[in-house]
A and B are shown apart, each in its own frame.
Chain A
Amino acid sequence: MSHHNKHNIDDLYKNAFKHLPVEIPREAELWQRIAEQKKSKNKRRIWWIFLALGLFVITIISGVVYKSNDRMLQKEAAKTEVAETSIAQNLTNTLEKNTSIRNKSLANQKQSKNEKHSKASNLKNTSSPTYNDSQPAQEKQKSVQRKSSATLSETAVGFSAKQKAIAYAPMVNQKKSGITKESFDKTQNDLEISKAAYIESMSALPMLSLIPMLTKPSTIMQQIPNEKLAMIKNKKAVHSLTLASGVNSVLNKVEINNTAAPEFQSFEALFKPLSSFNTSIAYGYRRGNIKFSIGLEWQHLEIQHENTYFSEGQRVLQTNPQAYVLLEGNNPPVYFEAESYGSTSFMIHELSSVTSQSLLLPLKFCYLSRLGNRFRIGPSAGVIVNLHKNYTGKTLTEDGIIRWVDNDNRSPYLNNALGIQLLAGIECELSIKGPLSLSLHPVFRYNFQDFFKNNYSVNNYHHLFGGQIGLTYKIPEK
């Protein structure tokens, strides 16, 4: 095309259409629409921002409440431990009395053929129980009959009073005799109170009134001519770097399986606000409305195991037969067993925590839509590769009895492993100035992996619900 022709065609169209008025069909109707929209415009709200901000604020506040309650509860637990120590001491004293009673009864048995033999309680933590081998086989058989008619002392029942009771798996063996209804009801009541107190401490604060974000819309003068609008097809790719930090609340699912002791099977689900913190850096690639990002994230996760089992412990205050309640101590938590004529009671209590660290490689996609001139929002989804490693802390051991032990080394029960998480959420971007923008990202993460070893009696799954707030820098094109 020649230069002359080029200008001809340009001029032809320019002259024809530059200031050409065209009559609008249904002009009055158009004005009506404009007038109505002007009225309703002020009522319009960018409610997505409020929703994201509200969720974020609620998570922060619930976490603060949780942490303050947690400190309070730990103080209470410490008091309880002190009380339990004294209770344990009382029981030990009682035990010594029982021992002397037993010895007297044994002595009496030797003298009398009609007296029945007693069976010592089985110490399973440090030493094997010693039984009186002189017991006749028939009497031994009788020893497994559940005949005990003893009642619990009040001090034994006091062990169950803990504020952090959660799901209650009744351990009472229905076949056990001698358990008084009164003591059982009292225990159950204590647990219910503890459970209610715990649930109340976890409840979220009332919804705060949403704080409207005042954004002054860009004036039209600013739109001319440097405003970037998404036009027909955005051929330009936008590269960005995002630094973000966030908090998560953890939904913790615990399964305890012990095939050797079916009564230990239980299931608990815990919700822990703000049990996870993370920091990340990510590279983003955006073309049009599609965004892709990949990055690195460090996450600190606190998984807490809390299990409270209770069953009736029996303390027989009879000369024949007799039972013993033996305690190892209250710190670290104890597992103890009282056995009387084959009836078995188990009591495990105490809480502890196992912590882990993760290095995460998140890969996510999102579709962003523009709302106004400075705000984008859209759904996002992706996967996270989780390099998980265990951390120092207390661990749960299983050597015939289940107990917590201090372990300054990494837990032998946690895996250093590779896991996969799925994530889904909402991504919001608000332009601040130039290449800088603020990003908000409420997200839910579903964790497939249980990072405890296969031979361990606890299965733990955790899922995260929380949000990240970050600063994004759009890398300018050269």
Chain B
Amino acid sequence: MVGADKSIYHLTNSYLFSIAVRYTMDEHLAMDVLQESYIKIFDSLKQFIYKSEAATFQWMKQICINESLKLIHKNKRKYQIESGVRFSNTVFNNHDLHVQDLYRILSQLPDQQRVVFNLYAIEGYAHKEISQLLEIKEVYSRTLLARARKFLNKNISKLNYVAS
């Protein structure tokens, strides 16, 4: 069983780490998130009903997001992207802007706006789901998203990035 756990770990850790960094904006916290997430994943594997690879990965992602939000709440501080975070060589080729720039701009958002934007724009959560997850009102979730978008647009424009 240990072998299987390790295999799962190696297959998914880089993706989950990417998620954790996006929420926590801190390498060390992201490692803590990953640790807690994998403990929960391995504990729950017995009860988990396999449907598909995508569904399994989605399940693991959601655990990672939940743990990230827990840790953010616990620490409650602004996070700065660290230059030590290394990315794979995958670069978004359709845009001139480097992924690190996008991360940097994303990191400048206040915590709540960044989380709502991550959940809505990247993970695909609806506002109703976000409001239940964050225990906020749906109207407030929309407001946070609008503010995040405004900030990101403004800063990306400064970089002379043009969307296709």
Contact = CB atoms under 8 A, between A and B. Distances in A.
Contact of A24 (B31, B44, B69): B31
A10 interface: yes
B31 A30 contact: yes
Interface in B35-51: 35, 38-44, 47-49
Interface in B1-54: 2, 6, 9, 13-15, 17-18, 21-22, 27, 31, 34-35, 38-44, 47-49
Contact of A17 (B22, B40, B111): B22
A27 interface: yes
B133 to A, nearest CB: 7
A225 B129 contact: yes
A12 interface: yes
A14 B13 CA distance: 19
Nearest to A233: B112
B133 A229 contact: yes
A22 B140 CA distance: 32
B27 to A, nearest CB: 7
A12 B69 CA distance: 23
Interface stretch (A214-222, A260-268, A273-281, A414-422): A214-222
Interface size class of B (residues with CB under 8 A): 35 or more
A293 to B, nearest CB: 20
B17 A33 contact: no
Nearest to A4: B163
A230 B73 contact: yes
A228 interface: yes
A223 B63 contact: yes
A230 B39 contact: no
A205 interface: no
Nearest to A20: B18
B152 A220 contact: no
A18 interface: yes
B106 A235 contact: no
A22 B21 contact: yes
Contact of B44 (A221, A227, A229): A221
8 contacts: A5-B153, A9-B153, A13-B117, A13-B122, A23-B88, A34-B39, A224-B62, A232-B73
